[in-house]
């Protein structure tokens, strides 16, 4: 069973959209998982009621369904994750201790995302705000591979948390999360 957003989640996603700066070209893509679709819809609805900017709903982005998109062997991945549990599976993936051939490495995931983000931002028309609504696993992988810290299993990623990627005037890609900034090779 795949759970949808709670009423609180719906109101928070709309409040988030409402809080975005006005006058932007908002471009939104999302995972096919219902919670992600509902979150993206709430953000776009909130933004549309608060801003004169434009909204482009680019729809489902399969790469945001992280575990399945980056699986080399989906059956083995689902079986192993079912046996060990979600968090131990994630830790094994991050530590590189999953069975060989099951998943792309976290560094491959990072490179795919950084390359995609860079291309997308360079192609957009300013002022652009590009939102990808995905899963906590994907965010955790990017936090560890971009910022170098170890995810603290004692606290989970808060709803609507994320990394901000931006291009400098010189075209250099930078990522910011939780007060940390990282310059990226794109």
What is the domain-level CATH number for residue 132?
3.40.50
Q: For residue 123, is it within any domain?
A: yes
Predicted pLDDT of residue 152: 67
Cα(86)–Cα(84) distance, integer angstroms: 7
Question: Do the domain assignments include residue 43?
Answer: yes
Which of 180, 154, 175 has its CA nearest to residue 165?
175
Among 6, 10, 50, 21, smallest CA distance to 131 is for 21
pLDDT-flagged residues of the chain (< 70):
1-2, 125, 152-154, 186
CA–CA separation, 154 and 151 (whole Å):
9
Q: What is the pLDDT of residue 34?
A: 92
Domain-located, residue 46:
yes
Measured between alpha carbons, how far is 96 from 103 in angstroms, rounded to an integer? 9
Instruction: Flag whether 96 is in a domain.
Output: no
The answer to whether position 86 is within a domain reads no
Structure tokens at 33: 């998982």
Alpha carbon 85 to its chain's center: 21
CA distance 55 to 68: 28
Name the domain count of the chain: 1
Range of the domain at 112: 7-66+107-184
pTM: 0.84
Contact between 87 and 153 under an 8 Å Cβ cutoff? The reply is yes
């Amino acid at each position: 069973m795949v759970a949808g957003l709670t009423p609180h989640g719906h109101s928070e996603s709309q409040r988030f959209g409402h809080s975005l700066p006005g006058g932007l070209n908002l471009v939104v893509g999302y995972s096919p998982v219902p919670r992600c679709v509902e979150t993206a819809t709430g953000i776009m609805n909130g933004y549309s009621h608060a801003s004169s900017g434009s909204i482009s709903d680019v729809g489902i982005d399969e790469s945001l369904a992280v575990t399945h998109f980056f699986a080399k062997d989906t059956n083995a991945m689902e079986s192993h994750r079912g046996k060990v549990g979600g968090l131990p599976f994630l830790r094994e993936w991050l530590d590189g201790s999953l069975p060989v051939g099951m998943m792309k490495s976290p560094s491959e995931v990072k490179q795919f995302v950084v390359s995609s983000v860079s291309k997308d931002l360079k192609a957009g028309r300013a002022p652009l705000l590009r939102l990808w609504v995905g899963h906590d696993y994907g965010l955790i992988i990017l936090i560890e591979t971009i910022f170098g810290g170890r995810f603290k299993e004692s606290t989970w990623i808060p709803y609507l948390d994320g990394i901000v990627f931006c291009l400098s005037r010189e075209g250099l890609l930078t990522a910011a999360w939780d007060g940390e900034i990282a310059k990226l090779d794109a």
